[in-house]
A and B are shown apart, each in its own frame.
Chain A
Amino acid sequence: MLSKEEISRYSRHLLLPEIGTEGQEKLKKAKVLVIGAGGLGCPVLLYLTAVGVGEIGIVDFDTVDESNLQRQILFAVEDVGKPKANVAADKLFKQNPFVKFTIHNLQLNNQNALDIIKNFDIIIDGTDNFATRYLINDACVLLNKPLVYGAIYRFEGQVSVFNFGNKNGINPPNYRCVFPEPPAPEFSPNCSEIGVLGVLPGIIGTLQANEAIKLITGIGEPLSGKLLVINALTMHFTTIDVHYDKGSYKNIPACTEEFLKMDYAYFCGSPNQSDDIKSITAGELISLLDKKENLQILDVRELGELPEVTSLSDLQIPLSEIDAQVHKISKEKKVIVFCRGGTRSKQAITLLQKKSEFKNLYNLEGGVLKYLKEFQNK
């Protein structure tokens, strides 16, 4: 039952015959899990809160970074450094105190995913990496939960609804029916590496919220069996028909036990999991530099990327050009490879070790950001 305040708050919904009191009560009863409170998560959360979804779970392990503010519209300057899930819940509660928020300040993994996801009716994927996307998909297939998918790349985005509905006894498609395998990590850069148009996650996230509302209220035609692809520069909207593919199930764990044993980082070839990358901490590098060790320091960030660090300006080859300029990298000296946060440098090392058999490469842990912090504390 809607209270007097809720009837007044949701009056514009109640006026729509397609939603009305019945639809609004469905929204109130619904429990939606939003995984990732970033570019996609922010608009999803704002709209689901505003329209009165009864319970919203927020999963995010990260803290707000200054570079998030260009597109992650829930956060302000004062939030930098604070946990995203908590900041988001605080702000959203102010927008709509009728919504109950559950905060999951953690990184979703195969050990905790099922326990969290099982408590919700609809799952929204707003994550930024393939390993978590495959993990969420598989968990949703196992638990039979509809998944609202959204993903972005620079100026383009994709939206779909997976694992929902059952047309004439045919299973609905899931993420693996469309994309059975992830690309190699060196070919799957994220927004922090290649940039993204600020408004793009706003467009895609808002479409995800729209799909969730349609699923909850049962109105319209959800994007199940369809992949919507949008180009924000040309404003071309393309809808691709996708189908259930039996073959996609060969990689999906068949039961909870199998799911708990899955290594999604390995499946996606994540360099985080590979043991053969040597690393060096910021402190160790500083002491090597103090000792004037004969090092080569390789910056794999894009040209002109900030912060500029004169003490580390030795050799710069952007990750995308490593292949073409590999001859500039020493095979004798100790080579310290760095980027902003330590991810691209790992990819560069993986690539160099695989293709050119380097054995003298060290990844600077935490990248230039960690280095600068250590340097200031010195």
Chain B
Amino acid sequence: MKIQLKFFGQLAEITGKEIVEVDGIEDTDSLVKRMLNEFPKLKSCKFQIAVDQKLLKQNQQLKSVSEVAFLPPFAGG
């Protein structure tokens, strides 16, 4: 099943697009690994992951997941 990845803030500037589609990735750990590989500049960013609009604190299987968001903190005010 295809999963939609959504990148926010600086992260979207690094990936070059706000939405990326991926397929055949087992869990969030391998997803992050693959993204860091594909976009090495992401390594210097701090970001959180939300799976289907829920913030995640540990690895999660991506079976029957439709969306993963990559969220950086913003400082501006």
User: A127-164 toward B: CB 8 Å interface, digit per residue (1/0)?
Assistant: 11110010000000000000000111110111000000
With A153-B9, A156-B8, A178-B48 as given contacts, are A128 and B53 in contact (CB-CB < 8 Å)?
Answer: no
Chain B residues near A126 (CB-CB < 8 A):
77
Which residues of B1-53 are within 8 A (CB) of A? 6, 8-10, 18, 44-46, 48, 50, 53
A40 to B46, CA, bound (A): 23
Interface size class for chain A?
35 or more
Q: Is the CB of B71 within 8 A of A128?
A: no
State whether the Cβ of B65 lies closer than 8 Å to any Cβ in chain A: no
With A178-B48, A187-B44, A240-B53 already in contact, the answer to whether A38 and B73 are too (CB < 8 A) is no
The answer on a CB contact under 8 Å between A245 and B77 is no
* Chain B interface residue count, Cβ-Cβ cutoff 8 angstroms: 22
Dominant secondary structure at the B interface: loop
User: How far is it, in angstroms, between the C-alpha of A152 and the C-alpha of B8 when the chains are bound?
Assistant: 11
B75→A129 contact, CB < 8 A: yes
Select from chain A the residue with minimum beta-carbon distance to B54. Answer: A241
Q: For B69, what are the chain A residues with a Cβ–Cβ distance below 8 Å? A: 229, 238, 240
Interface of A is mostly: mixed
Query: Which of A190, A231, A247 is the one whose CB lies under 8 Å from B75?
Result: A190
- Residues from chain B with Cβ under 8 Å of A183 in the complex: 44-46, 72-73
- A126's nearest neighbour on chain B, judged by CB, is B77
A234 to B6, CA, bound (A): 13
Contact between A151 and B74, CB atoms less than 8 A apart: yes
Q: List 29 A-B contacts (CB under 8 A).
A: A38-B77, A39-B77, A41-B77, A128-B76, A130-B73, A151-B75, A152-B77, A153-B75, A156-B8, A158-B73, A178-B55, A179-B46, A183-B45, A183-B73, A184-B44, A188-B73, A190-B75, A190-B76, A191-B76, A196-B76, A201-B77, A227-B71, A238-B53, A239-B53, A240-B53, A240-B71, A241-B50, A241-B55, A242-B55
Interface residues of B (CB under 8 A from A): 6, 8-10, 18, 44-46, 48, 50, 53-55, 57, 69, 71-77
